[in-house]
Amino acid sequence: MKQLKSFIKKEFFHILRDPRTMLILFGIPITQLLIFGTVIKNEISDVHIAIYDQSKDETTMQITNKLLSSGYFILNQNLESTDGIEAIFKKGKVKQVIVFENDFGQKLIREGNASVQLIADATDPNLARLVTSYTTGIVNDYIKKMHPNLQMPLKTEPEVRMYFNEEMKSAYQFVPGTMALILMLISALMTSISITREKEMGTMEILLVSPLKPVQIIIGKVLPYLILSIINGFIIVSIGHFVFGVPVTGSFVLLMLETILFILMGGIFTPVESMPSWAQIANHINPIYYLMRMLRMIILKGSGFFDLLEEFIALSGLGILFLSLAIWKYRKTT
Amino acid sequence: MIEVKNISKSYKKTSALQNISLEVQESELFGLIGPDGAGKTTLMRILMTLLLPDSGDATINGLNVVTDFKKIRHIVGYMPGRFSLYQDLSVEENLSFFATVFGTTVEENYDLIRDIYYQIEPFKKRRAGKLSGGMKQKLALSCALIHSPKILVLDEPTTGVDAVSRKEFWEMLKKLQQKGITIFVSTPYMDEAILCDQVALIQNGKILDVDSPKRITEKFQRKIIRMRSDEMFRLINDLRKFKKAESVFAFGQYVHFTGINDDVEESELDLYLEKLNHKNVLVEEIPPEIEDVFMNLMKQ
């Protein structure tokens, strides 16, 4: 026990004294989370648009105002003809052009039917899709409110509710994702690296000749990173919560427990170079598969322990398997 | 204390050790002398239970290196060829870590390491990686001794260490030997061989001879002539062209010469060199040194 304690102490010295290790442990998760949170988004905001309003009546003005005050769009310029559209797109700043037909407002009231054309720059198809659907939503919403008697012709609108992530916020997606990534990096990778480092420095020779048992060495290597991972998990969830407003609906303790379970299997970092068709089946022995599921379920759905039983058993089984393999392999090298 | 019987080991097709046998007595300072790649480290790793021999037997204090490896690990202190301590841990931390790993404390065995450790104690807060080569050596030795081993195994401890530190290091080994520790040390330096009680000359995985350094040189019957002149490089080349030369080697400030037979006279060489305009020539017969023996054995 004393030996193990002193081994763990030594391991902490290694980690705390190496700026690079510290950077990987704490710098990467935080920056990654902040970058993902602010750069990679499924929502849109401040998208530049151009408007060609042939009608210039009250209705189109109000629709334009509504679009611009939504926060999603910024008016780049007003067009006077359709000629400039392609040129504007080529400049790259404007992502969408809205064209209202002549007498838009009058037609709408008289005929119950008026056209608005949305032209989007589809070089980024994902963005184009988002932009047009946002615009459609706003226009329809406005018309419905202004003219409640109007039947939207040829249109059945499905009412979509996104469960567990009502607003389709991307932060909900990447907080659990980053967590899995980071835990993977720290637990599996860093533990393996620290063992490799012993070998490179030649200190493994001395450890092997010493009366230290393989199990003491492996546990001594895993435990410090386990503790750091818990701290890390805490930081990630906190940033997710306080900066991006991702709620943890489930139990934080359960979340950490499942995380620990995952971390307990250092030394499983194997690159998957290609993903053939049987990968789906093979994925069932991949611990990250279970971890991701559990993280999402706890953070977003607020699932309890018994909902996660299947994953829990699978992950425990894999954990024991990999840890035993590591110890067995280590023993063989002595 | 250490008994090696017909040990062989090969790595794939390269044979590193061939039928090695030797015996080390208790409290003996035993030297394994040979050039790089001779198989010294392989033999040490087998004795340290880090490597399994292909065939043959080896025992340490009566314990078999294959079957009793756990017990052996408690009684040996091993210092690998490369500096193998934690560079990011301080002197003090390294020492107490290894003490704890072996289930002891620094205080308990301080007596044994005092002579060595007091020299680096002023730097005990310094990280091991920032120590000079000589100090690293002392720390590594302290760590290898901290559990008071019966046998100390040192793999080329003085390689890459300055001359003064080397001398000091051997003095330390002598003192440890007096405390009853059996020491098995390998070195590529011939001048260190004479400091051992017994030496084994090893080359290409084969033991050439095992004896005391004195006996080894006595057994050697050839006549060795050493020479010096102002132009050493030209001297070597000229001597190699000499008809009666068998071997010519640079030995520090001198050239050691062995003739095709022992009838080659000093005066003969003197004359030959004078003709070639060598200045300040010195030619004298000397008793063979262990290196002469080794050079000769290697050629056979």
Q: Are A207 and A142 in the same domain?
A: no
Containing structural domain, residue A218 = 2-39+169-333
Contacts for B195 with CB less than 8 Å, ≥ 6 apart: B29, B31, B170, B173, B174
If asked whether residues A12 and A60 sit together in one domain, one would say no
Predicted confidence (pLDDT) at residue A237 exceeds the cutoff of 90: no
What would the mean pLDDT of B12-39 be, rounded to a whole number? Answer: 89
Q: How far is CA A48 from CA A36, A65, A132, B268, in A?
A: 22, 14, 12, 101
In chain B, ranges of CATH 3.40.50.300 domains = 2-212
DSSP B49: T
Among residues A207, A313, A220, the alpha carbon closest in space to that of A266 is found at A220
Q: Residue A282's pLDDT is what?
A: 66
Domain co-membership, A34 together with A70: no
DSSP B253: T
Do A180 and A321 have their domain in common? yes
- A4-13, A185-194, A266-275, B234-243: least confidently modelled range: A266-275
Considering the domain architecture, whether residues A199 and A108 belong to the same structural domain is answered as: no
Both A200 and A303 in one domain: the answer is yes
Whether CATH 3.30.70.100 fits B220-299? yes
Q: Would residue A90 count as lying in a domain?
A: yes
- Cβ-count burial B227-258 (b if 16+ within 10 Å, e if not): bebeeeeebbebbeebeebebbeeeeebbbbb
Q: Is the ipTM of this complex over 0.95?
A: no
pLDDT tens per residue across span A178-224: 777 777 777 677 888 888 888 888 888 888 888 888 888 888 888 88
CATH superfamily ID and name for B2-212: P-loop containing nucleotide triphosphate hydrolases (3.40.50.300)
0.90 exceeded by pTM: no
Mean pLDDT of the residues in chain B: 87
Based on the fold, state whether residues A270 and A180 are members of the same structural domain.
yes
Is A226 inside a domain boundary? yes
Which tops the pLDDT comparison, A172 or A153?
A172
Quick check: A18 and B80 CB within 8 A?
no
Q: A9: which chain B residues are within 8 Å (Cβ-Cβ)? A: 97
- Interval B94-123: pLDDT, tens: 999 999 998 889 888 888 888 888 888 899
Contact at 8 Å (CB) between A48 and A95? yes
B123-172: pLDDT as tens digits: 989 999 898 888 888 899 999 999 999 999 999 988 878 888 888 889 99
Using CA atoms, how far apart are residues A256 and A223, in angstroms rounded to an integer? 15
Q: Are residues A27 and A52 in the same domain?
A: no
Query: Is residue A153 assigned to a domain?
Result: no
Residues of A in contact with B102 (CB under 8 A): 210-211
Q: What is the mean pLDDT of chain A?
A: 76
Cβ-Cβ pairs closer than 8 A, A with B, add up to 68
* pLDDT of B14 over the 90 cut: no
Structural domains in chain A (count): 2
Q: Which of B30-44, B189-203, B275-289 has the lowest mean pLDDT?
A: B275-289
Please determine, for residue B185, whether its predicted confidence score (pLDDT) is greater than 90. yes
Cβ–Cβ gap A3/B100 under 8 Å: yes
A187, A327: one domain:
yes
Distance CA B27, CA B184 (A): 10
Out of A112, A146, A180, pick the residue that ends a domain.
A146
The CATH code of the domain that includes A66 is 3.40.1710.10
d(CA B283, CA B271): 10
Domain boundaries for CATH 3.30.70.100 within chain B: 220-299
Q: Burial letters for B10-46: b for 16+ Cβ neighbours within 10 Å, e otherwise?
A: eeeeebbbeebebebeebbbbbbbbeeebbbbbbbbb
Residue A128 belongs to a domain? yes
Q: Which two tokens stand for residue A289?
A: 């598969």
Q: Is residue A154 part of a domain?
A: no
Q: What pLDDT, on a 0 to 100 scale, did the predictor assign at position A157?
A: 45
Query: How confident is the model over A239-284, as pLDDT tens digits?
Result: 888 877 777 777 777 777 776 666 554 333 333 333 455 656 666 7
Q: Are B41 and B188 in contact (CB under 8 A)?
A: no
Both A109 and A187 in a single domain? no
Residues of A with CB under 8 A from a CB of B: 2-3, 5-7, 9-10, 13-14, 17-18, 201-203, 205-212, 334
Whether A104 and A228 share a structural domain: no
Q: What is the tens place of the pLDDT at every residue in B244-271? A: 888 888 887 888 888 888 778 888 888 8
Give residue B154's pLDDT: 93
Asked if the Cβ–Cβ distance from B101 to A17 is below 8 Å, we say no
Over range A51-78, report the average pLDDT.
Answer: 87
> Are residues A141 and A255 both part of a single domain?
no
